[in-house]
Amino acid sequence: MRKNNKVLVIAAHPDDEVLGCGGTMARLVKEGNDVFIAILGEGITSRYDARELADKSLLAELHDHSRKVAELIGAKDLFTYDLPDNRFDTLPLLEIVKIVENLIDDIQPDIVYTHHNGDLNIDHEVVFRATMTAVRPLSGCSVRELYSFEVPSSTEWSFQHYHGGFRPNVFVNITDTIDAKINAMKTYGGESRSFPHPRSTDALMSIARRWGSVVGVEYAEAMELIRLVY
């Protein structure tokens, strides 16, 4: 991995950034890169019968956890928005594209990580589409590398029936940063689950170990390369 890059992680919900590339972010920071995190959705309001019934104190706590995670990872900055949880498809796509375009314009990232378009969660799919639109390869676009990550309990639960499924072809050795990923996920106490749920500590360790075994390292995160300009 090269140093001195600006890296932008675009996630739909608080915890997606950790589940998808928590170990990668921690490694990139250790190697001297500037990592920025953008979380577009408010989180958890879809668990209520109506969005306005959501417990505001729980939302505030969740966003506080996002800030703590960003500090733990060593991110340069965190940007949060309040798009409606699991309702991104009710918004004009252009509205979300504009958010991502503004981030790209302000940060000028070299590398972008975001969701896979085959996830079960509709918000993940919309974020992928918005990101692809925002970083289209026009003259002057700063983004040289674009990757999609998996989110346990969403990517695999589509059972590869959406958009061809997740086909990773880039693997990041996170053996030295797996603890940072796990500790960051533990910060999101309300989002973690007990094994055998994919968001449990045991499952996350197993997933990283499995991808590591694919490429001959102890722990890895898997990515799908979308575009690389070298």
Bridge partners of 37, per DSSP, are 9, 78
Residue 124 scores a pLDDT above 70: yes
pLDDT digits (tens, 9 = 90+) for 41-67: 998 788 887 788 777 888 889 999 999
With H, G, I as helix, E, B as strand and everything else as coil, classify residue 15.
coil
211, 218 Cβ separation under 8 angstroms: no
The pLDDT, as a whole number, for residue 208 is 98
Classify the C-alpha dihedral 126-128-134-139 as positive or negative.
Answer: negative
**Per-residue CA distances from 61 to 71, 142, 191 (Å):** 15, 34, 12
- Calpha distance 79→203 (Å, rounded): 28
- Whole-number percent of the chain with pLDDT over 90: 86
**Coil, strand, or helix at residue 145?**
strand
DSSP 181: H
Q: For residues 152-162, give the mean pLDDT.
A: 94
Confidence bin at 2 (pLDDT 50/70/90): low
CA distance 8 to 34: 9
Whole-number Å distance between alpha carbons of 16 and 39: 8
CATH architecture of 6-228: 3-Layer(aba) Sandwich (3.40)
Task: State what percent of residues in the chain have pLDDT above 70.
Answer: 99
Q: How far apart are CA 21 and CA 28, in angstroms?
A: 10
How much is the pTM? 0.95
Q: Model confidence at 93, in pLDDT bands (50, 70, 90)?
A: very high
- The packing angle between helices 93-107 and 122-134, to 10°, is 50
Residue 116 has pLDDT above 60, yes or no: yes
Which runs of E-coded beta strand occur in the chain? 6-11, 34-41, 77-83, 111-115, 145-149, 170-173, 220-228
Domain boundaries, the chain: 6-228
